[in-house]
Structure 1
């Protein structure tokens, strides 16, 4: 049963999140002085080679902290809403939860629902804002603390943090940085709210709306007829999932790291132009893609130099 209300606690929060990205935000809530009365997360899913049911990272963190965990398949039923209502939340904090919240659910907490979203809204609403920003060649991204409404990431923005996207950033490195920035902006929002401040809600601009559609494994295939810089972004965005793949002199490999080389050539797209210890240069529609880390079928990630040890014939490529 949900606990009875503790009137001495200034803010009762229900936290909703699922992946590793959400865990720092949960910890920020716990450290802020609020009472996290429950954690909502996705049901345990099969994972690993044995397909064993595995709790989400957020569930594991909640259990370690001794916080009650709820894992409904949906929040649409009257029973699920009744359970949430019984916790009597002042605020619901949602971070990559994975379920759509209806108007009825959004209305349950007395202060509504906050969402931590990994983009500078209204750009990259939706499921995969981190990877889409890299793919598009954006030079800047960030996290927004948003007051939720029924539309998909359409609510007004309360607070924002920005960060540059560098040529070294991958989907993984940017994910980790934005996860910490999200916890930082959430902590500020909670601190200011506990101090009695009402955060100013800024409506999102009507122009500049872009949707970050869910990643598909089919997007991982490199098309060397495209510009090398676009392929470099594809490699970076899809590290660590789904990992770019392409053909290197007749062998299909996963490509973990590569850089675009702005150099003119007359070779057909996909041809190996040069191969040396620092990388394998593949002709592209514009420029060359230098592959520096790759993975053969059934193997592990290796440097280009190690790959060339197994395929020494490529060293004579011209």
Structure 2
């Protein structure tokens, strides 16, 4: 099929790789403008742009798709379908109508649960037992279109946002290839979403990464996993920020929420609203992430020290 591909991060690059491998004709890729990244904050091309350039595919990076001139150029491509994956721009109705078979979105949740920007992280925060991939026929709403395909994936107790992202990226790539095999044959059954069951996956922000010790240890352990690798859960103790990369919830001795109950090579135990959070891998500002045993060799923490909320 002749495909316009729209996507930006690694999740989308996996799908683009699969479509190229399946032999589809991709005359154009849309992606977000280069953004500052890294310690030097140099303008960096998205994962999708880098992949497209490696394969000699023209890349457009508009800041909006509302421009009639851009829409006219998209129409001139003569695409059968547009495939969208974590693109970052809304598609106006005029753009949705350009491809012969419309626009398909690869979404990382079991719609209508977790519509929006951060479905992987919100599923982890909520303690969902499973998530998955939906191939959706796009409309002008936010992830509201009919679902054409759906594949569920169990969430492992040790999954972080990164590990779950990686699993779903592979699943999404497999599903979009299969969907494009079936789409022209009329084998895909469009199932309308039940709006009454919809939940919203708001974009993550750095403010929510500061742990609230009044919450239960179970909730905070989920937050540590959900915020890995961004924005990374954190606490403040003795005026310094400590990022938390790995932690486990325990039903052990209670104390005032935010109080360190013990700090040794087995972990830093912090009292929560219910239960105790054992910190296992941490990182001081400007330092490297490391096991707690190594961290404590150069940082004096002890029972009775308090973490700020």
The TM-score, its normalising length taken from structure 1, stands at: 0.92
Tell me the equivalent position of 1:3: none
* Secondary structure in structure 2 of the residue aligned to 1:219: helix
Tell me the equivalent position of 1:306: 294
Deviation at 1:67, TM superposition (A): 1.0
Residue 166 (structure 2) aligned to one of 176, 196, 214: 176
Gaps of 5+ in 2: none
Tell me the equivalent position of 1:294: 282
Tell me the equivalent position of 2:209: 220
Tell me the equivalent position of 1:90: 80
* Secondary structure in structure 2 of the residue aligned to 1:58: helix
- Give the 3 Å change call, closer, same or farther, for CA 39–289 of structure 1 in structure 2: same
* Secondary structure in structure 1 of the residue aligned to 2:72: helix
- Give the 3 Å change call, closer, same or farther, for CA 248–278 of structure 1 in structure 2: farther
Taking the aligned partners of 1:54 and 1:275, their CA distance within structure 2 comes to: 40
1:200 to 2:189 alignment = yes
Contact 2:216 2:275 in 1 (8 A): yes
Contact 1:275 1:316 in 2 (8 A): no
- CA-to-aligned-CA distance 1:93-139 (integer Å, 9 cap, x gap): 00001100011100000100000000000000000000000011111
The TM-score, its normalising length taken from structure 2, stands at: 0.95
Tell me the equivalent position of 2:268: 280
Contact 1:264 1:286 in 2 (8 A): no
- CA-to-aligned-CA distance 1:44-96 (integer Å, 9 cap, x gap): 12222222221111010001111111111111011110111111111000000
1:160 to 2:157 alignment = no
Taking the aligned partners of 2:78 and 2:301, their CA distance within structure 1 comes to: 69
Taking the aligned partners of 2:265 and 2:98, their CA distance within structure 1 comes to: 60
| Higher mean displacement: 229-238 or 241-250 | 241-250
Deviation at 1:264, TM superposition (A): 4.1
Taking the aligned partners of 1:131 and 1:215, their CA distance within structure 2 comes to: 8
Contact 2:260 2:304 in 1 (8 A): no
1:39 to 2:29 alignment = yes
- CA-to-aligned-CA distance 1:111-168 (integer Å, 9 cap, x gap): 0000000000000000000000001111110010000011110001111111111220
- CA-to-aligned-CA distance 1:155-183 (integer Å, 9 cap, x gap): 01111111111220001111111111100
1:101 to 2:91 alignment = yes
* Secondary structure in structure 2 of the residue aligned to 1:290: strand
* Secondary structure in structure 2 of the residue aligned to 1:207: helix
Contact 1:122 1:208 in 2 (8 A): yes
| 1:44-123 equivalence runs, <5 A | 44-123=34-113
| Higher mean displacement: 308-317 or 242-251 | 308-317
Taking the aligned partners of 1:81 and 1:250, their CA distance within structure 2 comes to: 53
* Secondary structure in structure 1 of the residue aligned to 2:195: coil
Count of aligned pairs between the two proteins: 305
Taking the aligned partners of 1:122 and 1:168, their CA distance within structure 2 comes to: 25
Tell me the equivalent position of 1:270: 258
Gaps of 5+ in 1: 1-10
Deviation at 1:34, TM superposition (A): 2.0
- Give the 3 Å change call, closer, same or farther, for CA 98–33 of structure 1 in structure 2: same
Taking the aligned partners of 2:96 and 2:256, their CA distance within structure 1 comes to: 55
